[in-house]
Structure 1
Amino acid sequence: MRFIHLADVHLGAVPDRGCPWSDKRENEIWETFRRVIAGIRENPVDLLFIAGDLFHRQPLPYELKEVNELFSGIPETRVYLMAGERDYLKENSFYRTFTWAPNVTFFPEEKVTCVKDTQFEVYVYGMSYEHSQIRQPLYDGVRPVKNNGVHILIAHGGDESHCPLNTAALAGAGFDYIALGHFHTPQNVIRDVAAYSGALEPIESNDLGAHGYIEGRIENGKVKTRFVPFSIRTYSQLLLNVNEESTQLSIEEALKDEIFKKGGLNIYRVILQGKRKPELFLIPEKLKSFGNITEVLDETRPAYDLEELQKKYAGTLIGDYICFFMEKNRNTVEDKALYYGLQALLETRHSS
């Protein structure tokens, strides 16, 4: 028996709103979900688990209809679906009145229930959020029924505001597999037993690394899983080292080279590090024009010889300023204050 476990698709989301590529991202999220279904159509799986937040917000009727048409196109695959905190069941939610295709099971209430799939002797347990926050650990007391077969729990949450999870309780519950959603980073909680599939496509700039879904096989009562990278884009951090030989142009060329190596479709946060010539005036914002760049952080420092400057300007405001910081065990903020303030003082002195 084969299954696919995915979660946090966030249909309707517009990541990086205001950036030149944001409109494309909204369409790409839909397209990646369609590609998953197309892949199942070509290479069928028996079960598809969607562990919450299929939609980024309350789904509209035409969106539910489109998703349902996709599901109806894979009639041999049993689909199990729950609402998460983003698309939770409001009182007037269109989820409540929607009629799904025969191969789809939607969990319609905020109470864990069990559905038996007689074709595969599989018991699937799940519920939907009826509130945007659930502070009670609703999954911790759930146990499989005492019947032979495969027992699978679909669960969404894991932080204090969204169904807190006790890992030890999950490990001892007795489920053959626990398909988790809510956290956007793929992660194994218990190898081959409980895992977050992560967001299908990265939604926020902190959703770093590969994204996709989990594919599983159940043979002789044992589950084996693997993560399948599937997203069109990834978010990455690019670290660019700056030295005293660096110029604005050389930094721009280095950035273009790195983006070419890592992929022009991907989205980057650029961090400049190292020591630069004190007189080099960087224009970090200009770097955004060389790719899909959400942010440029300038963490460089001017390459001052503090001890030499302290001696040179002893008895002056500059010397006292350096001495004040040199005597401290500086944190990152104080370190920046030292260099920014020193640069301003030196420039003021030179201009006068």
Structure 2
Amino acid sequence: MKFIHTADLHLGRPFTALGDKGDELREALLDALKRAVELVREEGADFLVIAGDLFDSNEVTGRLVKRALEILRGIAPTPVLILPGTHDLLDEGSVYHRNEFREAGNVKVFGLHGSTIRIGEAAVHGRANDTKRGGVHPLGELKPDPEARYNIAVVHASVEIEGKASPDDYLVNPEEIASSSMDYLALGHWHGRGEYSSGGTTAWYCGSPEPTKFGEEGAGSVLLVELSDGPPLVKALPTGKHTWLVRDFDLGMFPPGEPLESEIRSLGGEYVLLRAGIKGLLPEGRELDLEALEERLREHFFHLEINNAGIAYPLDEVESLFPEGTVGSLYVSRLQELIQEAQDEEEKSLLEEALYLGAGYIAGELEVD
């Protein structure tokens, strides 16, 4: 038995910061859903699981719901199992309470059609997200069916890892995964693909099939899961169209002018979105017009944004940043005194860096990470 595992499509995401190109990105999300359905056919999968956040909100348009259901019904009678997530949770105003889902044929929604759905030799268990209250442990509420050959759990939650999970999230911890007695745990909520297996349970985040923002490493695919007598076999299948890149460019390696422009241009592509950060010390006598730089390079990208949040000023230019008597002026004067009193080159280098960056923060030209 095999199935396709996807999640976090976020159909209807506004992409407001990207203007007219938001329309193209919203269409790309639907294209990713189409590709997932195509892969069900191509791989001969027995069903499709969507582990939460099929929609970006419960306020999506009826037209979008209709288009999504038309795509999903295209593989009938192959079952499509949808878990309501954090963005499209199963509350009173849920999109899944609309008439379109009452006669959706092969499309089943956990929470509306029960918490366990049998498909052949498999029992698929899902706990719908139904509240914005955090701290819920959905996996603990799901129990395997002893009569099923395969037991699959579907949850939309964060794995409890320090620094990655929030108390406001639905949560699952490694101990719960290990003791769940499930053959496979289909996770949704984190947009990057990753394995979180524990004990005898194989557990994966599939990641978003189409990236939705910068910083989503591991997005752009669905998972093909094959169940047999041994551990499940998991294979990533590409679905994404756009590539969202975040890159820093050090002026020490790529000075203003052709070296910098050539390096940025090398990452270009018709479907590439790039957030470029320029950092380092601006060489004396050199200027960097970011607006002009963006204008020259924009044609090489689907979307390009460049910021100078990491640029530091040469020492002889720092003094001119602030009027005398201001906080910035006092900061510069004090740091310059400390630099003169430095006991060795290492201390001097650290103080000079503090002067560059501190002056930039006070002037509002630098951002604190």
TM-score by length of 1: 0.81
Q: Distance in 2 between matches of 1:137 and 1:34?
A: 31
Q: What amino acid is the match of 1:269?
A: R
The answer as to whether partners of 2:123 and 2:148 remain within 8 angstroms in 1 is no
The structure-2 alpha-carbon separation of the partners of 1:46 and 1:250, relative to structure 1 and needing over 3 Å to count, comes to: same
The residue that corresponds to 1:259 in the other structure is 267
Q: Cα deviations across residues 90-136 of structure 1 (Å, max 9, x unaligned)?
A: 31434124224332221125x9822222xx21001013222234432
Q: What amino acid is the match of 1:336?
A: L
The residue that corresponds to 2:191 in the other structure is 184
The residue that corresponds to 1:324 in the other structure is 338
The structure-2 alpha-carbon separation of the partners of 1:19 and 1:279, relative to structure 1 and needing over 3 Å to count, comes to: farther
Q: Distance in 1 between matches of 2:217 and 2:288?
A: 26
Between stretches 277-286 and 14-23, larger displacement belongs to: 14-23
Q: Return the match for 2:278 from 253, 269, 272.
A: 272
> Where do 1:165-176 residues align within 5 Å?
165-176=172-183
C-alpha deviation, 1:321, in angstroms: 3.8
Q: Cα deviations across residues 202-252 of structure 1 (Å, max 9, x unaligned)?
A: 112222354211111112253110222321012112232323882334422
Q: Return the match for 2:357 from 316, 331, 336.
A: 336
> Where do 1:11-26 residues align within 5 Å?
11-15=11-15, 17-19=17-19, 21-26=21-26
The residue that corresponds to 1:349 in the other structure is none
The answer as to whether partners of 1:209 and 1:234 remain within 8 angstroms in 2 is no
Task: Work out the percentage of aligned pairs sharing the same amino acid.
Answer: 22
The structure-2 alpha-carbon separation of the partners of 1:84 and 1:9, relative to structure 1 and needing over 3 Å to count, comes to: same
Q: Distance in 2 between matches of 1:105 and 1:186?
A: 24
C-alpha deviation, 1:180, in angstroms: 0.5
The residue that corresponds to 1:347 in the other structure is none
Q: Give unmatched runs, 5+ long, in structure 1.
A: 306-316, 345-352
The residue that corresponds to 2:249 in the other structure is 240
Q: CA RMSD in A?
A: 3.3
C-alpha deviation, 1:53, in angstroms: 0.4
C-alpha deviation, 1:44, in angstroms: 2.9
Q: What amino acid is the match of 1:177?
A: Y
Q: Distance in 1 between matches of 2:8 and 2:236?
A: 15
C-alpha deviation, 1:199, in angstroms: 1.4
The residue that corresponds to 1:207 in the other structure is 216
Q: Distance in 1 between matches of 2:352 and 2:92?
A: 50
Q: What amino acid is the match of 2:40?
A: I
The structure-2 alpha-carbon separation of the partners of 1:66 and 1:341, relative to structure 1 and needing over 3 Å to count, comes to: closer
Q: How many residues align?
A: 328
Between stretches 177-186 and 125-134, larger displacement belongs to: 125-134
The structure-2 alpha-carbon separation of the partners of 1:341 and 1:46, relative to structure 1 and needing over 3 Å to count, comes to: closer
The residue that corresponds to 2:288 in the other structure is 282
The residue that corresponds to 1:135 in the other structure is 135
The residue that corresponds to 2:304 in the other structure is 293
Q: Cα deviations across residues 239-286 of structure 1 (Å, max 9, x unaligned)?
A: 323238823344223321x224xx341111112234331222212333
Q: What amino acid is the match of 2:214?
A: S
Q: Distance in 2 between matches of 1:242 and 1:339?
A: 16
The structure-2 alpha-carbon separation of the partners of 1:274 and 1:295, relative to structure 1 and needing over 3 Å to count, comes to: closer
The residue that corresponds to 1:218 in the other structure is 227
Q: Distance in 1 between matches of 2:254 and 2:124?
A: 62
Q: Give unmatched runs, 5+ long, in structure 2.
A: 159-165, 317-329
Q: Cα deviations across residues 143-173 of structure 1 (Å, max 9, x unaligned)?
A: 3132241000010011422211111111221
The answer as to whether partners of 2:209 and 2:219 remain within 8 angstroms in 1 is no
Q: Return the match for 2:202 from 166, 172, 193.
A: 193
